[in-house]
Structure 1
Amino acid sequence: MTEHDHSTTIGQLPEPTESTPVTPRALTRAVWLMWVASLGVLAAALGTGGAWEFGGVVAVDGLTVLLWVVVTFFSGIVHSYSRRYMAGSKDLTRFFTRVFGFTLAVMVLVAADHVALFGVAWLAMGLAMASLIGYVDGWPQAQAAATLARRYFLASTALLAVALGVLSWATGETAVSEIVTAVDTVPTVPWVVAVVALVGAAMIQSALVPFHSWLLSSMTAPTPASALMHAGFVNAGGVLLVRFAPVVTLDPTVMLGIAVVGATSALLGKLLKTVQTDIKRKLGCSTVGQMGFMLLQAGLGFFGAAITHLILHGFYKAYQFLSSGEQVEQTAPAKTGTAADPSAVGLIVTAVTAVAGGALFAVLTGKGTSFDTGLLLAGLVSLTTLHATRTAVGHRGLPTTVRYVVAPLVFLAGITVYAGAYTAVTAVLAPLPLGSPPTELTAVHGVLAAAFALAYVAVDTGVYERSTRLYVALVNAAQPAAGTLLTDTEDYNEY
């Protein structure tokens, strides 16, 4: 057994008593009050239709208040959940202080207008998350994971500093709002440097391939911290690209490159997930893929879709992590009855629902009704609907009516909700300078569409499993850093 200063609680966790630190309760109430206040600010912003600027240091616009509401809500859930989950922890106050500090850092980041404040908030956000990853003292694997994450976050901060410094020098401005307005005056070379640095910082922070190692190595973090990480922290890459949209939309080639980067990570994230056996690591690979989807949507010019995606993904992933304990069970290998339905009826229902889903989204949002990149966005909706419907109709344990009628109707209702959320978010972001994204389809867009279709077919049919070399490559690519692995049975018992 290793020596450490960490008490183990056996049996039912104790209920809060008078000796329980007041900090967790106070910070939990403070976060929920911040959420209520954010709702009020959002209502005021929608009512006035404007933004508030404070001396070139802080700017509160639609994106700011929208993310304030989302971040404080997720943080409130994590704070409330952690009061019970972390009740046996010796350093309860330290954990809640760091979670609250992380929340404040994100709120400052989305409101920061001065480049220095923006950079400091980005750094503080990363350092706070790294400290949560290494929260358990005396656990070598946790400290190794925190060190790895900290290195990645410092690298992303360095790239962001380069981008902010170059743009500020080239435009003569120190406010982000002024920089994006004057970006047309930036010479080509400084602009290229800034764009590369911005995209690199976004990729690292959002754990896109090949920078996903820090995320898959971060499973030493307490589950509530993992929920906050996957529901909020990794979204910073999308927020960064939206904030600097006029910079990256100057050249269609850059947007195409962002789309390719996002698509690559989305496909690899889906494949990496298939070789995982650990619940939290499966969720981690899923996040890698979903963040790829987010950048793909930004690369297609649909920044409203990217923000909508990160919000809905946040809700989903926070729930998945906080309920991950329910997935742990000891069972014998057996057929589950969830194989794909090979019947003609199942295939027809799946195809019709997928086409109807894409068409419904196109009608409700107007994206996909003309020959432009909106077709790809609607196509992604169809592909997602195809996957969900195929899974449902292939679940032989469900009644026939549920598989062929109820499930497709539920999925179509979900698309309606998604389209409504996308429309609402786009309206909130409308006053922001998002540049003029390209809308023309290119051969590369066609390749991306074909790659997605082929990848989904390969995974859903299991064809990819026939390649031993591919399996080994995926397993190797999905491995966390060696120093963060628990390899001794006593290590598991200890922590």
Structure 2
Amino acid sequence: MRELRGTSRIPAISTYATWAAFVLSLAVVAATVWFDVGLPAGRLLRIDGLTLVMWVAVTFFSGIVQSFARRYMAANRDLNRFFAGVAAFTLAVLTMPAADNVVLFLAAWTAMGLVMADLIGHVPGWDEAQAASRLSRAYFLVGSALLTAGVSLLAVLTNALTITGVLDGLASLSRPPILLAAGLILLAALVQSALLPFHRWLLSSMTAPTPSSALMHAGFVNAGGVLLTRFAPLFAPQRDLLLVITVVGAVSALLAQAMMLVQPTYKGRLGCSTVAQMGFMILQCGLGFFAAAVTHLIVHGFYKAYLFLSTGGQVTKKPPKKGGHDTSPASIVVALAAAVAGGAVFATLTGKGFDASETGVFLTVVVTLAVFQAAVELLRTDSLSPPARLVGVVVATVPALAIYALMYNAISGLMHAVPAVHTPVAMTPVHWVLLAAFVAGHVAVQLGWLQRRPRVYVALLNAARPDSRTVSTTHGDYGSRSEP
């Protein structure tokens, strides 16, 4: 292994360059916040709050993944090709939020997908990996075509060559072309973030090396939220379109969460979890809280990168937990108390949720439900004693919500000059119905309703099934390949 490591310095150079970029990004953020240094803007690039937030997040996640991969992939025969791909992917992701030139923006978006497809099929002799690579590449090219069509339409109609110029010229356009372009861009975001019904590529990508999966789930899929945030001035004035985005995000979040419950494999559950989290991210955009969506994608990136990089301890197959029947009434009461306290902390620190006429109440209730679910899972942990579980709920839930709320405030502050990222909308009957569906979904989970309905169980299992061409038929298939 030492001999293999010594054959090339590409992994070390790529890793150290990424960490250097992370430090530089932090320095630029500090200069902007503390010393009020102006951010550069030109016809090619435009550096704003969204760019800085994404630069810090992307370089950090990529640095972590590459540091891990230098040991994990050390014996891989195609180590240099892997790190070259990761470096190219990182560069494309860093370019996308900074690109103001329309051609550069679209090129960076397309490059992200093509490089990620190659990383998914990194193992050359594995037929299933190559099938997954081809499938994902087809999805990504369709998404790029949709985005190119939408952005090009706006560029032609506004006679602008930059994203800034396009957004500034929206006021001169009539509603039909705006809705057409917005619909195309929205579809591109849904494909990228693997929302239903475009989730198949993500659930079929489990052949990717673990570091590639970490990059994909912690960074690549989040680009859909970044895209909607960058084009927030296009979406924010169209309240009916925002409602459609809310419905699409909510449906994906609810169905993917249900699909996760029936998954027999650890990576399968992680894949469905990512689809659900991306649904919530898109939902936040639909509620008008684009900064909240950016905060969520960063927090999700931390969480999912850790889970994928630690999959080595979770390689066994086992039936999914039944849920509901093993939770005592006392545990439910404790979890509810923690959820209410966490929701109150979030609402107090962010100012969201006190006005029932605005969508801030939707955001706060969903956050409260997430705290409740986390508290219940912690209370079910067999490795802890009952007193330790109770202490863990108090220590882990409310402070975590406080940190999340402070992160949201910090990111919102950094993005304050990004157009239309703070546009809460009025609650409608549709919003209330969706909110009731979220509550009913959590109740159904706690009661174990899904697991006791065979037809529903099978339907969810089929909906989450990856493409058959990407699934190894025997356990030996994977073990015989070149990934360590």
Shorter-normalised TM-score: what interval? Answer: over 0.9
User: What is the SS of the residue equivalent to 1:58?
Assistant: coil
Give the conservation status (yes or no) of the 8 Å contact 2:263–2:320.
no
For 1:232-311, list aligned pairs within 5 A. 232-311=219-298
Q: 1:43 aligns with which of 30, 33, 45?
A: 30
Query: Which aligned segments of 4 or more residues in structure 1 are displaced greater than 4 angstroms?
Result: 48-51, 333-339
* Structure 1 counterpart of 2:203: 216
In the alignment of these two chains, the number of paired residues is: 480
CA positional deviation for 1:50: 6.3
Structure 2 vs 1, CA of residues 205 and 50 (structure 1 numbering), >3 Å: closer, same or farther? farther
Structure 2 vs 1, CA of residues 382 and 90 (structure 1 numbering), >3 Å: closer, same or farther? same
Structure 2 Cα separation of the partners of residues 17 and 170 of structure 1? 55
Give the conservation status (yes or no) of the 8 Å contact 1:340–1:391.
no
Residue 343 of structure 2 is aligned to residue 358 of structure 1: yes
Structure 2 Cα separation of the partners of residues 312 and 76 of structure 1? 16
* Structure 2 counterpart of 1:431: 417
Structure 1 Cα separation of the partners of residues 383 and 12 of structure 2? 44
Give the conservation status (yes or no) of the 8 Å contact 2:291–2:412.
yes
* Structure 2 counterpart of 1:465: 451
Residue 408 of structure 2 is aligned to residue 422 of structure 1: yes
In the TM superposition, what whole-angstrom CA distance separates every residue of 1:196-232 from its partner, at most 9, and x where no partner exists? 0011000000000110110011111100010000000
User: What is the SS of the residue equivalent to 2:65?
Assistant: helix
Residue 361 of structure 2 is aligned to residue 370 of structure 1: no
Identity between Structure 1 and Structure 2 (%):
47
Residue 19 of structure 2 is aligned to residue 32 of structure 1: yes
Stretch deviating more after TM superposition (218-227 or 456-465): 456-465
Q: 1:328 aligns with which of 315, 328, 333?
A: 315
Identify unmatched segments of 5+ residues in structure 2: none
Structure 2 vs 1, CA of residues 67 and 166 (structure 1 numbering), >3 Å: closer, same or farther? same
Identify unmatched segments of 5+ residues in structure 1: 1-13
Structure 2 vs 1, CA of residues 318 and 123 (structure 1 numbering), >3 Å: closer, same or farther? same
CA positional deviation for 1:188: 1.5
Normalising by structure 2, report the TM-score: 0.95
RMSD, aligned CA: 2.1
Structure 2 vs 1, CA of residues 454 and 141 (structure 1 numbering), >3 Å: closer, same or farther? same
Structure 2 vs 1, CA of residues 53 and 19 (structure 1 numbering), >3 Å: closer, same or farther? closer
Give the conservation status (yes or no) of the 8 Å contact 1:252–1:437.
no
Give the conservation status (yes or no) of the 8 Å contact 1:357–1:385.
yes
Structure 2 vs 1, CA of residues 379 and 79 (structure 1 numbering), >3 Å: closer, same or farther? same
Structure 2 vs 1, CA of residues 469 and 18 (structure 1 numbering), >3 Å: closer, same or farther? closer
Give the conservation status (yes or no) of the 8 Å contact 1:144–1:483.
yes
Structure 1 Cα separation of the partners of residues 79 and 392 of structure 2? 45
CA positional deviation for 1:39: 1.1
- Give the residue type in structure 1 aligned to 2:375: T
Give the conservation status (yes or no) of the 8 Å contact 1:337–1:395.
no
Stretch deviating more after TM superposition (24-33 or 90-99): 24-33
User: What is the SS of the residue equivalent to 1:370?
Assistant: coil
* Structure 2 counterpart of 1:486: 472
Structure 1 Cα separation of the partners of residues 76 and 340 of structure 2? 51
CA positional deviation for 1:338: 9.7
* Structure 1 counterpart of 2:191: 204
In the TM superposition, what whole-angstrom CA distance separates every residue of 1:416-455 from its partner, at most 9, and x where no partner exists? 1001001001101111111673521100001110111111
Structure 2 Cα separation of the partners of residues 334 and 165 of structure 1? 46
Give the conservation status (yes or no) of the 8 Å contact 1:119–1:160.
yes
CA positional deviation for 1:337: 11
CA positional deviation for 1:182: 2.3
CA positional deviation for 1:78: 1.1
Stretch deviating more after TM superposition (137-146 or 345-354): 345-354
Give the conservation status (yes or no) of the 8 Å contact 1:51–1:61.
no
In the TM superposition, what whole-angstrom CA distance separates every residue of 1:308-329 from its partner, at most 9, and x where no partner exists? 1000000000000000011125
CA positional deviation for 1:356: 1.5
